[in-house]
Amino acid sequence: MVALEHAYELAQDAVKREITRIKIKVGGDLREDADCVEVVRSGTSQPDIILDANQGYTPGQALLCLEALDDCDIRPLLPEQPVHKDDYEGLCRK
C-alpha cells in the first residue's frame, strides 16, 4: 500500500491527465483500505473508482468496506475480485 499522501498526489496527477477511472488495490486492513479510498476520492473530481481486492476479503469484510465507503458518500464503480475466486456463495451476498 502506498502512503496516503502519495495516493492523494497520484489521484491529482490522474485527474490532470484526464483519467476517468482509478483502480485502487485493497484487500488488507479494512480501515487502511477505506482511508486510502477516501484520500484518493478527495484528490479527484469525478473519476470512477474500482476496488481490486485480489481475493483479500471475506464476504463480510467486502460488505463492511462498501458500507464504510457508502457512509462517506463514495460508491465504487465495482469491487473487483473481492473474495476467493471459488466462493460463489460469498460473491452473491448482499
CATH, residue 86: 3.20.20.120
- For 59-75, what is each residue's pLDDT tens digit? 999 999 999 999 999 99
Domain that holds residue 58: 4-92
User: Would you say residue 94 has pLDDT above 80?
Assistant: no
C-alpha span between 41 and 73 (Å, rounded): 10
16-74 pLDDT, tens per residue? Answer: 999 989 999 999 999 999 999 999 999 887 789 999 999 999 999 999 999 999 999 99
pTM, whole model, 2 decimals? 0.87
Q: Are 51 and 79 in contact (CB under 8 A)?
A: yes
Domain count, the chain: 1
